[in-house]
Structure 1
Amino acid sequence: MHSTQTQTRPGTTRPGTTRRDPRTPGAGRPAATGPHSTATRTTATRTPALRPPRAPAPLHHQFAVRLLAVLSGERPAISMLNQMIGEAYDQLVLLAPRTPFRTRGMRPVVRKCGSFQPRPDVIEAFAMIGAGPQLRAMAFRLEMHADQRWRCTAVDLGGERVGAPAGV
Structure 2
Amino acid sequence: MRGTVGGEGSRRRPGGPARSRPAGRHDSRRPAGPPRALRPGPHHWFAERLLAVVSGRRPVHSLLGHTVGPAYQQLVTLAPSDPLRDRLRPVVRQCGRFTPGPGVIEAFARIATGDRLTAMAFRLEQGPDLRWRCAAVEIQGPRP
What TM-score does the superposition give when structure 1 sets the normalisation length? 0.57
Give the match for residue 140 of structure 2. 158
**Identity across aligned pairs (percent)?**
55
Q: Give, in whole Å, the separation in 2 of the partners of 1:116 and 1:53.
A: 22
Change (3 A) 1:53 1:144: closer
Which of 60, 65, 71 lines up with 1:77 in the alignment?
Answer: 60
Which protein is bigger by CA-based radius of gyration?
1
SS at match of 1:97: coil
Q: Give, in whole Å, the separation in 2 of the partners of 1:58 and 1:131.
A: 23
RMSD: 2.4
How far is 1:97 from its partner? 2.9
Unmatched runs of 5 consecutive residues or more in structure 2: 1-32
Does residue 137 in structure 1 map to residue 119 in structure 2? yes
Report the structure, 1 or 2, having the larger strand content: 2
SS at match of 2:70: helix
Aligned residues: 107
SS at match of 1:73: coil
SS at match of 1:60: helix
Q: Give, in whole Å, the separation in 2 of the partners of 1:123 and 1:143.
A: 7
Give the match for residue 8 of structure 1. none
What TM-score does the superposition give when structure 2 sets the normalisation length? 0.66
